[in-house]
């Protein structure tokens, strides 16, 4: 082989290497690539199967919320105690079952006696007998005994061989307080209609199978027999075009109840086979291209350079012109001779280029740095400044080079403060400098560094005016938070004497007092009750609450906020008009965060109307528009200037007097609304009031 030329040897070596690499890549891609697609397919099936369980859990959760609403209701509480038929006629009619999508409602008192139970067929819209084995779940001997006095339960039970989604809640009053007088039970059969609904919700082909259905995966069958719940999802490949996922659902006792089967096309697997075919064809074409490209590169970068190097060396030797350079690139063995000849000139040129580059780099940094930079010598003469320094001290278009800093009046205080530093030998000095520009007081931090060996001083000025202003506003915000905490404490302290006043006044009213005195006692009792409501509302608003989104009725949130401000409006001649949509849908939101949003908007409207004419009218409306809940607040106050409309939601921006606002209220409103997927905006003109609109996605 050594008898062959370098070109021929290169051709043979590259060809063999290309064939080996192509073969290895072909095998690896076939093994690893399809393995990854199969794993991805299994993950997709597992995720979609898990979505079915999530959808079922979501349905149980919605039933639990509805059961809680019914169980924590004074009417239900009273029904268990007096068992009046009016409650059944008003609330437990056929339309109730149809609208709530329930098949079963039962009421059990605290002794375990069944007060009411009824089953309803949603498909045929008629009453049906309550399954005979339903009573087994109410027996104290049953493992699935529902709690009678306290607690809550939700899950699946089997009634006559049919699974039923079941929830129960203790029956309390509307304040969610006891003692519990019984248990409210609601159920929904997992029939074809509900399965179809779950399938539409998850966009999956969904079937429910008994646990003894033949043909289930062996792992699933073993898990059912052994009651092993370590793995709830099982995957079975039907054929090259379909794949099936199974998930095992257990009842309240933890026993297997039924199996959900999800059938899915093997789109991922088919796409993987197609992609692999494209990849392998691409690898073949790339290998061929690599072979010829490599041969071309070797010819251009090695063989041709060897010929050029030989000619260049010959020309330099024959001409004797050492100023010329050998034109050979690279740093390999072929360019070693060229590097020896051109080394010195190349090093000099490289050094000069680096020096120029560093100088330009430093100049660019100095020009772009936001801090003001000043360099002076030991005689206090200016040697260097940047654009930020001139802009900071209003010295644009003035040549300062060589001038004394005594010519800059704004630096007079700095010269006296740093006189000892300039005369001493310490390396650094820091101080603060205050001066006025166009009547505005500025605060700067000044850092002076002694540049050793050059008898120069580097002075850097940093404007901290805005930072200090932010700190002051944050301090004010912290004080407002402290006031809120103090209000909460005061509310707690007032509750005890108010409770005593209420109790004693009620006792006095029953003592057979003269009418005039009894009327006064009744007045005392009424005013004490009103004060107790105010304290309760203040305590509820001041208390810290963990962030939690749930279905919230925005009309109710606004009404709760209006209760907090009702007394202020009466004493300040502010009229409030509410136009609420009674059919307004629920919104997934944090109740207390939305309460804060509406309170901030209403407080701003109050201040604006009082400053405008000492009274006012606030119009609040709600409506459902195109999937959005739209809440509008209209006041007849001062309005907002056009130039301020774009900044009203910026943090710390305020047009109020010092002490009347921090500039954080609307900024917080904006953050809360946007975090709920909605938007808040304003419309206003000076003298025509302001309109704030909050739009939130409905549930």
Residue 150 has pLDDT above 60, yes or no: no
Joined together, the tokens standing for residue 49 give 């199967």
Amino acid 149: pLDDT? 35
Q: Where are the beta strands (DSSP E) in 465-570?
A: 549-552
- Measured distance CA(171)–CA(185) in Å, rounded: 10
On whether both 419 and 350 belong to a single domain, the answer is no
Where residue 581 sits, what CATH number does that domain have? Answer: 3.30.565.10
DSSP 646: G
On whether both 522 and 581 belong to a single domain, the answer is no
Amino acid 144: pLDDT? 44
Q: Would 291 be classed as within a structural domain? A: yes
Residue 534 has pLDDT above 50, yes or no: yes
Residue 344 has pLDDT above 60, yes or no: no
Mean pLDDT of 5-25: 77
Amino acid 166: pLDDT? 92
Q: How many other CB atoms sit within 10 Å of the CB of residue 613?
A: 11
On whether both 177 and 253 belong to a single domain, the answer is yes
Amino acid 553: pLDDT? 94
- Measured distance CA(233)–CA(49) in Å, rounded: 7
Instruction: Give the predicted TM-score (pTM) of the model.
Output: 0.40
Joined together, the tokens standing for residue 242 give 């379909």
Joined together, the tokens standing for residue 252 give 């309240």
How many C-alpha atoms does 550 have within 13 Å on its Cβ side? 10
- The residue out of 520, 544, 568 marking a domain boundary is 544
Where residue 445 sits, what CATH number does that domain have? Answer: 3.30.450.20
In this structure, are residues 412 and 427 in contact, taking their beta carbons and an 8 Å threshold?
Answer: no
How many C-alpha atoms does 492 have within 13 Å on its Cβ side? 8
Residues β-bridged to residue 102: none
Report the chain's terminal Cα–Cα distance, integer Å.
79
Residue 573 has pLDDT above 90, yes or no: no
**Cα-based distances in Å from 683 to 4, 641, 691, 692:** 87, 10, 5, 7
Q: Would 323 be classed as within a structural domain? A: no
On whether both 229 and 337 belong to a single domain, the answer is no
Residue 201 has pLDDT above 80, yes or no: yes
On whether both 79 and 228 belong to a single domain, the answer is yes
Mean pLDDT of 519-537: 68
Percent over 70 (pLDDT), the chain: 78
- Measured distance CA(477)–CA(455) in Å, rounded: 48
Q: Would 674 be classed as within a structural domain? A: yes
Q: Dump the DSSP string for 254-322.
A: S-EEEEEEEEEE-HHHHHHHHHHHHHHHHHHHHHHHHHHHHHHHHIIIIIHHHHHHHHHHHHHHHH--T
Amino acid 679: pLDDT? 92
Report which of residues 470 and 117 the model is more confident about: 117
**pLDDT (tens digit per residue) in 355-406:** 677 767 776 776 677 788 888 887 888 888 888 887 777 777 788 788 888 7
Mean pLDDT of 557-572: 86
Mean pLDDT of 30-59: 84
Q: Would 22 be classed as within a structural domain? A: yes
**pLDDT (tens digit per residue) in 87-130:** 999 999 999 999 999 999 999 888 888 899 999 999 899 999 99
Residues β-bridged to residue 259: 209, 248
Residue 435 has pLDDT above 80, yes or no: no
Residue 560 has pLDDT above 70, yes or no: yes
Q: Would 327 be classed as within a structural domain? A: no
Amino acid 99: pLDDT? 92
On whether both 655 and 528 belong to a single domain, the answer is no
What confidence category does residue 494 fall into, taking pLDDT thresholds of 50, 70 and 90?
Answer: confident
Mean pLDDT of 605-611: 89
Report which of residues 668 and 74 the model is more confident about: 74
Residue 142 has pLDDT above 50, yes or no: no
Report which of residues 57 and 146 the model is more confident about: 57
Joined together, the tokens standing for residue 256 give 């297997």
Mean pLDDT of 66-93: 92
**pLDDT (tens digit per residue) in 624-660:** 998 899 999 999 998 988 888 878 887 766 766 644 5
Q: How many domains does the chain have?
A: 6
Q: Would 279 be classed as within a structural domain? A: yes
- The residue out of 441, 462, 483 marking a domain boundary is 462
Q: Which of 81-85, 368-372, 414-418, 641-645 reaches the highest mean pLDDT? A: 81-85
Report which of residues 474 and 301 the model is more confident about: 301
Amino acid 348: pLDDT? 43
Domain that holds residue 91: 48-265
Residue 523 has pLDDT above 90, yes or no: no
On whether both 302 and 340 belong to a single domain, the answer is no
Q: Would 666 be classed as within a structural domain? A: yes
Report which of residues 600 and 541 the model is more confident about: 600
What confidence category does residue 65 fall into, taking pLDDT thresholds of 50, 70 and 90?
Answer: very high
Mean pLDDT of 444-455: 80
On whether both 339 and 452 belong to a single domain, the answer is no
- The residue out of 524, 544, 564 marking a domain boundary is 544
On whether both 41 and 60 belong to a single domain, the answer is no
Report how many helices (DSSP H) and strands (DSSP E) the chain contains, helices first: 18, 22
DSSP 135: G
Mean pLDDT of 577-583: 93
On whether both 505 and 427 belong to a single domain, the answer is no
Residue 662 has pLDDT above 70, yes or no: no
- Measured distance CA(432)–CA(423) in Å, rounded: 19
- Measured distance CA(10)–CA(633) in Å, rounded: 82
On whether both 471 and 536 belong to a single domain, the answer is yes
Average pLDDT over the chain reads 80
Mean pLDDT of 157-186: 89
**pLDDT (tens digit per residue) in 218-262:** 787 877 777 666 567 888 887 888 888 888 888 887 788 888 888
Amino acid 284: pLDDT? 80
Secondary structure, 3-state, 56-114: HHHHHHHHHHHHHHHHECHHHHHHHHHCCHHHHHHHCCHHHHHHHCCCEEEEEECCCCE
Q: Would 577 be classed as within a structural domain? A: yes
On whether both 679 and 659 belong to a single domain, the answer is yes
Amino acid 24: pLDDT? 81
């Amino acid at each position: 082989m050594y008898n062959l030329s370098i070109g021929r040897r290169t051709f043979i070596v590259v060809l063999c290497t290309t064939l080996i690499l192509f073969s290895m890549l072909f095998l690896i891609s076939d093994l690893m690539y399809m393995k990854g697609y199969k794993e991805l397919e299994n993950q997709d099936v597992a995720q979609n199967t898990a979505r079915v369980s999530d959808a079922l859990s979501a349905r149980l959760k919605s039933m639990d919320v509805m059961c809680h609403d019914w169980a924590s209701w004074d009417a239900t509480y009273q029904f268990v105690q007096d068992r009046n038929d009016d409650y059944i006629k008003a609330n437990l009619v056929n339309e109730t079952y149809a609208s709530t999508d329930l098949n079963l409602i039962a009421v059990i008192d605290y002794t375990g006696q069944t007060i009411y139970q009824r089953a309803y067929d949603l498909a045929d819209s008629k009453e049906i007998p309550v399954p005979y084995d339903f009573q087994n779940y109410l027996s104290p001997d049953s493992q699935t005994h529902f709690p009678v006095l306290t607690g809550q339960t939700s899950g699946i039970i089997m009634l006559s061989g049919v699974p039923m989604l079941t929830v129960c809640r203790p029956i309390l009053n509307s304040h969610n307080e006891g003692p519990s007088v019984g248990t409210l039970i609601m159920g929904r059969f997992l029939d074809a209609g509900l399965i179809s609904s779950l399938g539409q919700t998850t966009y999956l082909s969904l079937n429910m199978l008994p646990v003894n259905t033949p043909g289930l995966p062996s792992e699933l069958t073993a898990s059912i027999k052994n009651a092993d719940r370590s793995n709830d999802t099982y995957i079975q490949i039907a054929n090259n075009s379909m794949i099936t996922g199974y998930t095992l659902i257990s009842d309240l006792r933890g026993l297997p109840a039924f199996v959900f089967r999800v059938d899915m096309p093997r789109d991922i697997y088919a796409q993987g086979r197609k992609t692999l075919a494209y990849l392998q064809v691409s690898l073949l074409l790339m290998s061929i291209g690599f072979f010829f490209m490599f041969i071309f590169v070797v010819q251009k970068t090695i063989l041709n350079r060897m010929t050029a190097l030989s000619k260049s060396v010959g020309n330099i030797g024959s001409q004797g012109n050492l100023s010329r350079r050998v034109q050979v690139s690279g740093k390999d063995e072929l360019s070693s001779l060229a590097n020896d000849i051109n080394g010195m000139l190349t090093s000099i040129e490289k050094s000069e280029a680096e020096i120029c580059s560093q100088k330009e780099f430093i100049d660019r940094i100095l020009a772009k740095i936001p801090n003001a930079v000043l360099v002076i010598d030991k005689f206090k003469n200016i040697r260097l400044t940047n654009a930020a320094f001139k802009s900071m001290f209003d010295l644009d278009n003035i040549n300062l080079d060589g001038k004394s800093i005594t010519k800059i009046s704004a630096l007079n205080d700095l010269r006296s403060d740093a006189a000892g530093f300039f005369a001493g030998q310490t390396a650094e000095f820091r101080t603060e400098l205050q001066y006025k520009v166009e009547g505005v007081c500025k605060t700067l931090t000044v850092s002076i560094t002694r540049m050793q060996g050059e008898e120069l001083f580097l002075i850097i000025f940093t404007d901290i005016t805005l930072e200090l202003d932010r700190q002051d506003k944050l301090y004010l915000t912290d004080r407002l938070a402290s006031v809120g905490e103090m209000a909460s404490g005061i509310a707690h302290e007032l509750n005890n004497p108010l409770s005593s006043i209420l109790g004693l006044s009620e006792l006095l009213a029953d003592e057979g007092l003269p009418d005039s005195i009894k009327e006064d006692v009744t007045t005392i009792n009424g005013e004490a009750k009103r004060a107790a409501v105010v304290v309760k509302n203040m305590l509820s608003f001041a208390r810290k609450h963990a962030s939690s989104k749930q279905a919230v009725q925005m009309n109710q949130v606004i009404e709760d906020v209006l209760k907090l401000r009702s007394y202020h409006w009466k004493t300040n001649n502010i009229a409030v008009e509410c136009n609420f949509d009674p059919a307004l849908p629920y919104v997934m939101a944090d109740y207390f965060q939305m309460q804060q949003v509406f309170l901030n908007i209403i407080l701003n409207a109050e201040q604006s109307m009082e400053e405008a004419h000492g009274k006012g009218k606030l119009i609040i409306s709600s409506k459902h528009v195109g999937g959005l809940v739209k809440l509008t607040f209209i006041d007849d106050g001062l309005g907002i200037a056009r130039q301020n409309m774009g900044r009203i939601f910026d943090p710390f921006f305020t047009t109020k007097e010092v002490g009347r606002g921090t500039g954080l209220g609307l900024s917080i409103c904006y953050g809360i609304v946007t975090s709920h997927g909605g938007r808040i905006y304003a419309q206003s003109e000076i003298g025509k009031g302001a309109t704030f609109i909050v739009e939130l996605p409905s549930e």
